[in-house]
Amino acid sequence: MEKLIKIALTQTVLGRWAGRLPFLPDLYARKVWSRRMNLFHGLHDSFDAAEAQARRFSAVGWNDSALAKEVIDHEHPVHRGGMDPTQPSQFAVLLWLGKLLRQGMTVLDVGGAGGIAFETAERFDLLDEGHHWHVVDMPRMVEHGRARHARLKSERISFGTDLGRAPPCDLLLALGAIQYMRDPIGQHGPGLLESIRKKPDYILLNKVPVWDGPDQWTNQSFVTTSSPYRIFNRDGLVRYIQRHGYRIAHSWQVRELDLRIPFHPECSLDHFEGFLAVRTDLQPSAKAAPLAAAFA
């Protein structure tokens, strides 16, 4: 029954009609959305509007100790071993990491929490002594990440909270992170690529909610806090990357994720997407060239 109600509210005209009842969206936010993990609520034309709505029902932002503990310290096999191996889109990330990483490269992991992707790369023997991995995230995430890797005695990973002070990188990762950023594609100021010190050779994005409609924002719940959550216009995101001198060398569908917003069936995603962007002036490495050519 719960599944049928969810489908009705998120994917049918009944949901749009129900959302016009003056009391129902707020009732849903207070009694359901704010009390459960990873639900969505509301649809807005800007980050600020989404944030204002979320503050009526919840704390806002990833800089939350309880959330950091859940994401980084929770004793689940995924956290002990890295990224969830049951998620098919992770294999695209691992494939490209294996092909692109070269001796001495620095990886900048934006929104990398406690270094889950780093642990996965180590687990699959993708890193050597010359590699360095730097995670940029919110202070509470960084605090828990540093403590975790101090316990693990990790030697190739560091953490920081400021993109502008991160070490110059050769490969930029953002694995399910840019949708939480206020202005990642620089529409109202410096975006992600304007904020880092060096233009990387490669950019790997995964778990990005994109569609052909206009940019929209909803709110995602984490029980103790919440966050505005962007649905990107695909062309706008790609144009931003291209303006900085990159081409999209490969893209893939992230079938393990979808997005359903109660009362807003007009904004419904069956899957997310991932992208590999390569500098247009870069000669592919010997390892990456055959794959890059195949997907050109």
Q: What is the DSSP string of 75-113?
A: --HHHHHSS-TT-THHHHHHHHHHHH--TT-EEEEET-T
pTM: 0.91
What pLDDT shows up at residue 4? Answer: 73
Residues 138-175 have pLDDT tens digits of 999 999 999 999 999 998 999 999 999 999 999 999 99
What pLDDT shows up at residue 288? Answer: 54
DSSP letters, 3-42, are HHHHHHHHHSHHHHHHHTSTTHHHHHHHHTGGGSEEEEEE
In this prediction, residue 19 has a pLDDT band, given cuts at 50, 70 and 90, of confident
Q: 184 with 190: CB under 8 angstroms?
A: no
273 or 11, higher pLDDT: 273
Instruction: Give which of 229, 222, 262 is closest to 58, Cα–Cα.
Output: 222
What pLDDT shows up at residue 2? Answer: 67
What pLDDT shows up at residue 86? Answer: 58
72 or 215, higher pLDDT: 215
- Mean of pLDDT values over 109-131: 93
Residue 176 pLDDT exceeds 80: yes
What pLDDT shows up at residue 80? Answer: 42
Domains of the chain, by residue range, sit at 65-216+231-260+268-295
* Answer CATH for 65-216+231-260+268-295 from 3.90.220.20, 3.40.50.150, 3.80.10.10, 3.30.43.10: 3.40.50.150
The contacts found for 21-29 with CB under 8 angstroms, 24 or more apart, are 24/263, 25/262, 25/263, 26/56, 26/57, 28/262, 28/263, 29/56, 29/57
74 or 45, higher pLDDT: 45
| Range of weakest confidence among 9-13, 24-28, 160-164 | 9-13
% the chain with pLDDT above 70: 90
- Mean of pLDDT values over 37-49: 96
- Mean of pLDDT values over 183-188: 96
